[in-house]
């Protein structure tokens, strides 16, 4: 049975202007990225390290981001921050054009161009083009999965298109497990509307293709104590023991919900809420798109209420959300469309400019840096490595994930070995899991820790001072240095 949402619409002529907009914005972003003066954030440095291993999975995330960064740095012949981050603006450029291809046959050429222009300037995309993240690597494959799934529904259910959607969704899942929301949304769409039902054979084909695509990471998890799954459960910690850990965090919910007006944009998120309230009055096609957006926001809101949720956790909602909202604003509220674009363009200019010329901007004459989380990391690490060279040790051991992330990145070409301090029980991070100080290590090492005093009786501990910057990522997080024997740091 054909999809009721599929109606003949003149969609010709959208590709040239859409490509011009997407490429134009992306070229400018790449230029600004080449001038970017911020340090790699802790997650970015960790993703780079993953790319050196090329495994089928990692401690806290599936493997695709490591593979993509490795490909970029190999092609560029450099591990500089520019090459680590370069895939980000390129991935968002591709995603914008895929969304345009979904919008064109449904809403026409003009709407498709506006969808591309809107997505490429979304606040979450502006920030996501400056930093490399799993969301950014996931979204083009998730958009392709949505395109293939809708294409199959337009034909009344197609095994071939459903299998393609499932395979693409599996690749998206290899970037971030949040891709699984797609399965939930597709099931809800099928339950709520007949035009969202692909039929049993296409549905099974999609699930089979999805299972095949994710199987390498499933195997890796089984072979590594379900490391990534355990970390995901840590993020949603209430599911381990709902009776004890689930608490109503109304403030957290309010904060997460308010942040969505920034992540998606105030006009767009407001419009999405209006459409959700008018769901029954929306066209079948828009209802289908809303089914791939609203449930994700609701799910993450529940997570925020019961525990915590970061603002980007609902980012997957805004692919279908853009497709649902932008054509509606175009026809019903064109003035709001321009207001939305003005806000997006303001951020699209401000954030790249800040990354180049604003690393010294402060919140007042004596305030902290506005980009505090993204500056000061390199200086801290170079000072640690310099102290290690001064005292003549051949290894540095740290117990802070942030410090370890940048140590591994900055010491990549040096002669000083970097290790994580061993921890009892389940490894708290990737570094303890894969790079803990070996049990047979001997000789003096430089221990870097937040603890002011370190007792390792009967071992001798030689204090080497403290690194306590006033500004930057480690402001208010001083690191203390000690020279100790490697064997003294083993778990007893």
Q: Does 146 or 429 have the greater pLDDT score? A: 146
Which pLDDT score is estimated for 112? 96
Percent of the chain with pLDDT over 90: 70
Please give the structure tokens belonging to residue 343. 């806000």
pLDDT tens track for 174-197 = 999 999 999 999 999 999 999 999
Most confidently predicted of 17-26, 331-340, 458-467: 17-26
Alpha carbons 321 and 22: distance in angstroms, whole number: 19
Q: How buried is 112 (Cβ within 10 angstroms: 0-12 exposed, 13-18 middle, 19+ buried)?
A: buried
Mean pLDDT, the chain, integer: 90
Q: Where are the domains of the chain?
A: 15-357, 374-489
User: Is beta strand 444-449 parallel, antiparallel or unpaired with respect to 479-485?
Assistant: antiparallel
Confidence of residue 243 (pLDDT cuts 50, 70, 90): low
Average pLDDT over residues 234-257: 71
Confidence of residue 394 (pLDDT cuts 50, 70, 90): confident
**Under 8 Å CB-to-CB from 311, ≥6 apart: which residues?**
256, 259, 260, 262, 263
**SS3 label, residue 351:** helix
For the chain, the first-to-last Cα distance in angstroms comes to: 67
pLDDT at 301 > cutoff 90: yes
Cβ 399 vs Cβ 445: under 8 Å = no
Tally: H helices and E strands in the chain: 22, 5
pLDDT tens track for 304-328 = 998 888 999 999 999 999 999 999 9
pLDDT at 1 > cutoff 70: no
Confidence of residue 63 (pLDDT cuts 50, 70, 90): very high
Which pLDDT score is estimated for 255? 95
Give Cα separations from 362 to 309, 350, 371, 373, 419 (angstroms): 28, 15, 8, 13, 34
Alpha carbons 48 and 79: distance in angstroms, whole number: 8
Alpha carbons 185 and 377: distance in angstroms, whole number: 40
Which pLDDT score is estimated for 492? 67
Count other Cβ atoms within 10 Å, centred on residue 423: 15
Cβ 169 vs Cβ 177: under 8 Å = no
pLDDT tens track for 29-45 = 999 999 999 999 999 99
Q: Does 208 or 59 have the greater pLDDT score? A: 208
Which pLDDT score is estimated for 231? 58
Which pLDDT score is estimated for 122? 97
Count other Cβ atoms within 10 Å, centred on residue 174: 25
Alpha carbons 143 and 102: distance in angstroms, whole number: 9
pLDDT at 259 > cutoff 60: yes
pLDDT at 460 > cutoff 50: yes
Which pLDDT score is estimated for 232? 63
Q: Which of 22, 26, 166 is nearest to 98 (CA)?
A: 22
Which pLDDT score is estimated for 222? 87
Cβ 100 vs Cβ 58: under 8 Å = no
Confidence of residue 457 (pLDDT cuts 50, 70, 90): confident
Which pLDDT score is estimated for 221? 85
Average pLDDT over residues 89-115: 96
Confidence of residue 372 (pLDDT cuts 50, 70, 90): confident
Confidence of residue 4 (pLDDT cuts 50, 70, 90): very low
Owner of token pair 């690749």? 171
Cβ 378 vs Cβ 403: under 8 Å = no
Q: What is the DSSP letter of 439?
A: T
Confidence of residue 2 (pLDDT cuts 50, 70, 90): very low
Q: Does 463 or 102 have the greater pLDDT score? A: 102
Average pLDDT over residues 22-35: 97
Which pLDDT score is estimated for 476? 82
pLDDT at 6 > cutoff 70: no
**SS3 label, residue 492:** coil
Strand extents, DSSP E, 331-490 = 395-398, 417-420, 444-449, 462-467, 479-485
Give one DSSP letter per residue of 252-299, joined into a string. Answer: HHHHHHHHHHHHS-HHHHHHHHHHHHTGGGS-HHHHHHHHTTHHHHHH
**Under 8 Å CB-to-CB from 367, ≥6 apart: which residues?**
none
Which pLDDT score is estimated for 414? 74
Which pLDDT score is estimated for 360? 83
């Amino acid at each position: 049975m054909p999809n009721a949402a599929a109606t003949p619409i003149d969609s010709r002529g959208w590709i040239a202007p859409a490509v011009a907009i997407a490429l134009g914005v992306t070229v400018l972003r790449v230029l600004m990225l080449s001038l970017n003066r911020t340090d790699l954030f802790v997650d970015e440095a960790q993703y780079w390290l993953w790319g050196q291993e090329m495994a089928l999975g990692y401690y806290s995330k599936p493997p695709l981001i490591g593979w993509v960064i490795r490909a970029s740095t190999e092609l560029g012949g450099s591990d500089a921050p520019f090459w680590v981050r370069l895939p980000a603006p390129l991935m968002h450029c591709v995603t914008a054009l895929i969304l345009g291809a979904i919008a064109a046959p449904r809403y026409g050429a003009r709407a498709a161009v506006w969808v591309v222009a809107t997505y490429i300037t979304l606040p979450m995309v502006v920030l996501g083009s400056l930093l490399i993240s799993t969301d950014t690597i996931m979204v083009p494959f998730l958009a392709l999965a949505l395109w293939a799934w809708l294409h199959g529904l337009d034909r009344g259910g197609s095994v071939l298109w459903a299998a393609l959607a499932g395979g693409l969704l599996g690749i998206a899942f290899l970037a971030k497990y949040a891709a699984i929301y797609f399965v939930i949304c597709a099931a809800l769409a099928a339950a709520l509307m007949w035009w969202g039902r692909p039929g049993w054979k296409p549905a099974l084909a999609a699930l089979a293709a999805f299972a095949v695509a994710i199987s390498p990471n499933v195997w890796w998890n089984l072979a590594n104590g379900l490391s990534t799954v355990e970390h995901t459960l840590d993020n949603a910690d209430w599911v381990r023991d709902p009776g004890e850990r689930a608490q109503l965090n109304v403030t957290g919910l309010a904060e997460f919900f308010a942040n969505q007006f920034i992540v998606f944009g105030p006009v767009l998120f407001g419009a999405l809420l209006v459409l959700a309230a008018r769901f029954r009055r929306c066209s079948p096609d828009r209802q289908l798109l809303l089914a791939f957006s609203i449930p994700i926001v609701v799910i993450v809101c529940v997570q925020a209420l019961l525990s915590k949720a970061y603002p980007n956790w609902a980012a997957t909602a805004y692919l279908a959300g853009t497709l649902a909202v932008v054509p509606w604003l175009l026809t019903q509220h064109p003035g709001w469309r321009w207001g939305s674009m003005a806000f997006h363009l303001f951020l699209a200019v401000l954030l790249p400019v800040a990354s180049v010329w604003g690393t010294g901007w402060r919140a007042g004459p004596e305030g902290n840096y506005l980009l505090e989380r993204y500056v000061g990391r390199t200086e801290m690490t170079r000072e640690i490595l310099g102290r290690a060279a001064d005292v003549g040790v051949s290894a540095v051991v740290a117990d802070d994930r942030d410090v370890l992330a940048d140590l591994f990145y900055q010491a990549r070409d040096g002669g000083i070995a970097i290790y994580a301090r061993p921890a009892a029980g389940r490894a708290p991070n990737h570094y303890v899991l894969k790079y803990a100080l070996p049990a047979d290590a001997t000789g003096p090492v430089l221990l870097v820790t937040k603890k002011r005093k370190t007792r390792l009786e009967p071992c001798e501990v030689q204090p080497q001072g403290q690194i306590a910057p006033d500004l930057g990522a480690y402001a208010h997080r001083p690191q203390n240095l000690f020279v100790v024997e490697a064997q003294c740091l083993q778990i007893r």
